Structure 1
Amino acid sequence: MIAVKISSKKDFMAKLLTTELFDSYYVEEATIETFNTFNIDGHINRDFYKNDDLEDESAVPDEYSKWSELRTLCFDLIKGKRTPLGFKFILHPDNETKNRIVESAGAGLAPSDVLLGINIRFTGDTIIITTGTAFKIFSFDKTIEKAWDEYIPSFMSHSGIDTTDYD
């Protein structure tokens, strides 16, 4: 697990809320504190789709909503003259990115046995991004966690997002 502090809040928020940069990420949870506290559970309610004529399992939505589906809603809740009191987004990489990271780590685990995530948290005047790795099976091997911890700063840098280490 690593934690990085966003150097330019305005630039990061513009990229998070108005570009497609994070659109492929899955949203586990979004909490936005303004005049009310808004909680979004990103888990897909499969019963919502039960009357659709889905021909095969591949047409069934994923476990979580994509950021692309919730981004404008979150933007609408955040925008305005007043800065939010806080927010928290828990995101997971898309399956292609996750598979690439898990396989490149060479730990011999299936991508389905691993959950990779980032927490994006704003409190006061600071945005902190924290990485997290969870395993569905027991493993002493930390190579996947290390690969994820290396990926996020690289992704941020490649995306033009300046960060500093957070203690």
Structure 2
Amino acid sequence: MIALKINNIKIFMEKLLTTEVFDNFQVEEVTIETFNTFSIDGHINREFFAGESNETANNNNRSFSLWSELRPICLNLIKGKRTPISFKFVLHADSDTKEAVISGSEGDIDPFMLNLGINIKFANNELILTTGTAYNVFTLDKSAEKAWDNYFPSFLESCGIENQLL
């Protein structure tokens, strides 16, 4: 796990809320504190799609909504003249990203046995991203975690988002 401070919050927020940079990430939770506190649980409610047989109903067997699906809602909650008091986004890498990160590591863990996540937290005019790895099985192999911690800062840089390791 590493913590990264975002140097230019405006650029990061523009990339997060108005571009497709993070669209394939899955959303576990969102909390936005403005004039009210808004909470979004990113878990998909399968009951909502009962009786439908199309791809939207199946959501590719995902447990969480994609950022692309929730981004417009979050943009509407955040945009305006006033800066939010705080917000927190908990996102998970999609399957393709997990496979790419893990294939570059020295370990042999199955990508479906873990989640590679990021916590994006804004408070006191400071934006901090924290990486995290959650395993579904017990393992002493930390190669996937190290690979994720190495991958994510370079991913941000490739998107034009300056950051510094805390």
Cα offset for 1:74? 0.2
Secondary structure of 2:82's aligned partner: coil
- The TM-score, its normalising length taken from structure 1, stands at 0.94
Residue 21 in 1 paired to residue 40 in 2? Answer: no
What is the number of residues matched between the two proteins?
164
Question: Matched residues in 1 for 2:93 and 2:103: separation?
Answer: 14
Kindly report which structure 2 residues correspond to 1:117-156, keeping only aligned pairs within 5 A, or say none: 117-156=117-156
Question: Matched residues in 1 for 2:129 and 2:94: separation?
Answer: 18
Residue 89 in 1 paired to residue 89 in 2? Answer: yes
**Which residue identity is paired with 2:13?**
M
5+ long unaligned stretches in structure 1: none
Cα offset for 1:103? 2.5
Structure 1 equivalent of residue 50 of structure 2: 50
Kindly report which structure 2 residues correspond to 1:65-76, keeping only aligned pairs within 5 A, or say none: 65-76=65-76
Question: Matched residues in 2 for 1:24 and 1:112: separation?
Answer: 16
CA RMSD of aligned residues (A): 1.4
5+ long unaligned stretches in structure 2: none
Question: Matched residues in 2 for 1:78 and 1:42: separation?
Answer: 18
**Which residue identity is paired with 2:26?**
Y
Cα offset for 1:102? 1.8
| 8 Å Cα contact 2:46-2:57 kept in structure 1 | no
Secondary structure of 2:84's aligned partner: coil
Secondary structure of 1:70's aligned partner: helix
Question: Matched residues in 1 for 2:66 and 2:107: separation?
Answer: 27
Structure 2 equivalent of residue 80 of structure 1: 80
**Which residue identity is paired with 1:28?**
E
Structure 1 equivalent of residue 8 of structure 2: 8
Cα offset for 1:104? 2.3
Cα offset for 1:106? 3.2
Cα offset for 1:23? 0.5
Question: Matched residues in 2 for 1:117 and 1:43: separation?
Answer: 15
| 8 Å Cα contact 2:49-2:57 kept in structure 1 | no
Question: Matched residues in 2 for 1:108 and 1:125: separation?
Answer: 40
| Identical aligned residues as a percent | 52
Kindly report which structure 2 residues correspond to 1:32-51, keeping only aligned pairs within 5 A, or say none: 32-51=32-51
- The TM-score, its normalising length taken from structure 2, stands at 0.95
Cα offset for 1:164? 1.1
Question: Matched residues in 2 for 1:19 and 1:158: separation?
Answer: 14
Secondary structure of 1:24's aligned partner: coil
Question: Matched residues in 2 for 1:53 and 1:131: separation?
Answer: 36
| 8 Å Cα contact 2:93-2:115 kept in structure 1 | no
Structure 2 equivalent of residue 60 of structure 1: 58
Cα offset for 1:59? 6.2
Structure 1, residues 74-104: CA drift from partner, whole Å, max 9, x if none? 0000011111000000001111111121232
